[in-house]
Chain A
Amino acid sequence: QKEVEQNSGPLSVPEGAIASLNCTYSDRGSQSFFWYRQYSGKSPELIMFIYSNGDKEDGRFTAQLNKASQYVSLLIRDSQPSDSATYLCAVASSGGSYIPTFGRGTSLIVHP
């Protein structure tokens, strides 16, 4: 059973701070890692993906992958109230036919 674990939160940060969201996974053969954002009452949307160890930056978002430790994280710099949402981590491997397994998500609240 492939597992993807996230702290459900809520994680509360002040506006302008760095929000750090973490995700651990059980399958060492995992190869693709995704972060989806889901606003309340809406559907998930992809914001970042990463395949290689290290950091990947896109605007205010940075995804960090450490395969040896089996964790992936998402950093949001200069957090804005509009970043308040649930962030879902998804992990895919060849053993799972590359179909992502989703974590249950971390709720982020950015307060003014």
Chain B
Amino acid sequence: DAGVIQSPRHEVTEMGQEVTLRCKPISGHDYLFWYRQTMMRGLELLIYFNNNVPIDDSGMPEDRFSAKMPNASFSTLKIQPSEPRDSAVYFCASSFLFDEQFFGPGTRLTVL
């Protein structure tokens, strides 16, 4: 398996623009997680899905953030409109049951 795949790897955008991050989890994994990592706040859980259903989105900072998982092999995290304080590395991770989480390579987002 290729592991968790994320795209794009780097994104530079201007304030106010819409940003869409994409994730393909490992086949057979039933949990998918979106994290944000910054120096100030560390690794924060934004939202997680179980069998494509959002379970807990209490970590989503604002209504500007939304996430979807239309099928077992694809998820998106959208920020609209983006702000400079959204600049961070966004990780997608997947797991089978409550086992080890496998992280994707991350998307480094810079909002100017």
User: Knowing A99-B48, A99-B56 touch, does A88 contact B43 (C-beta < 8 A)?
Assistant: yes
**What is the CA–CA distance of A40 and B6 in the complex, to the nearest angstrom?**
18
Q: Could you tell me if B101 and A46 are in contact, using CB atoms closer than 8 angstroms? A: yes
CB B65 to nearest CB in A, in angstroms, measures 18
Chain B positions 82 through 112: 1 when the CB is less than 8 Å from some CB of chain A, otherwise 0: 0000000001000000101101111000000
Interface size class of B (residues with CB under 8 A): 10 to 19
Among A88, A92, A104, chain B packs the most CB atoms within 10 A around the CB of A104
B12 surroundings in chain A (CB, below 8 A): none
Q: Could you tell me if B98 and A92 are in contact, using CB atoms closer than 8 angstroms? A: yes
Selected A-B contacts with CB under 8 Å, 19 pairs: A32-B98, A43-B91, A43-B103, A43-B105, A43-B106, A44-B43, A44-B103, A49-B100, A88-B43, A97-B55, A99-B45, A99-B56, A101-B45, A102-B42, A102-B43, A103-B42, A104-B41, A105-B42, A105-B43
Q: Which residue numbers of B lie inside 8 Å of A, CB to CB? A: 33, 41-43, 45, 48, 55-56, 91, 98, 100-101, 103-106
Given contacts A43-B106, A103-B42, A104-B42, 4 further A-B contacts (CB under 8 A): A44-B103, A46-B100, A100-B101, A102-B45
